[in-house]
Amino acid sequence: MIPTTAGRFAGRLAVFLPAFLAPSAVALAAAARSRYLLPVLATAAIYPFMAQLILRGRRVAAAGATLLWAASLSASVILLAARDPAGTEGLVIHGATYRDEMFAFIRSGAGRESDATLFLPQHLLHLGAFALLAAASGGILGMALGAVMVGYMSYYVGALAAAGGAPGIALALGWPPWAILRVAGYVLLGIAVAQPGIEAAARRRRARRSGLALPALPPAGPAWYLAALGLLLLDAALKALLAPAWAALLRPCLGG
């Protein structure tokens, strides 16, 4: 039996350690010069801890750990890209393409970013792919896809800061509030749909080792799914309403 103090320490470690490991994942991927290694290492930095917290019935803590990890991963990529955008370009899947799309949007104020008829189908495609991958893999593949999306968004922000027009504005506003809400919605949804797979894998491991059954955990309830849906709907609404104005706020970053 784990002592209460040790158990609490282990629980806190599981919440905060992934955020400290994320910069190491970025540094190792950069040293290896591999864009495919980044999501693999980033996923390895969070997944065991997220799964451990879910199996302990600490779903909220798992969400908190994942959000801290995402923030740390983003900050690490932003800093690397701001310092060396050309060198970081090859590290981030879809990074250059997304940067070019966003720079064009900032200059013109028009494009998929501000047109709901264009961005909603993409949002739904990404959301569907994420949910299916997370549910089918116990969260591992969903987490990897999330790392890719956080990576290219963060690369764009770092490249925007490196453009030299107004790096402070780029760092403060490069991540718009609706995109942050989207990340939070994905985290809630991913944890909910990953739980059955995580439990099934843990149940098989325990049966092999001891022959004992693993007690079933209560699934995420309707309120959890509604919170995720609410965040994703608010993301789309704010993006449709504010994206053109946000482009104007960011335009000085490109010298405009």
Q: What confidence tier does 106 reach under pLDDT thresholds 50, 70, 90? A: very high
Q: What is the DSSP string of the chain?
A: ---HHHHHHHHHHHHHHHHHHHHHHHHHHHHHT-TTHHHHHHHHHHHHHHHHHHHTT-HHHHHHHHHHHHHHHHHHHHHHHHH-HHHHHTTSTTHHHHHHHHHHHHHHS-SGGG-HHHHHHHHHHHHHHHHHHHHHHTTHHHHHHHHHHHHHHHHHHHHHHHTSS-HHHHHHHSS-HHHHHHHHHHHHHHHHHHHHHHHHHHHHHHHHHH-PPPPPPPPP-HHHHHHHHHHHHHHHHHHHHHHHHHHHHHGGGGT-
Per-residue pLDDT, averaged over 179-203, amounts to 96
pLDDT for position 1: 40
pLDDT for position 256: 56
pLDDT at 17 over 60: yes
pLDDT at 7 over 70: no
pLDDT for position 211: 64
Residue pLDDT, tens place only, 118-159 = 999 999 999 999 999 999 999 999 999 999 999 999 999 999
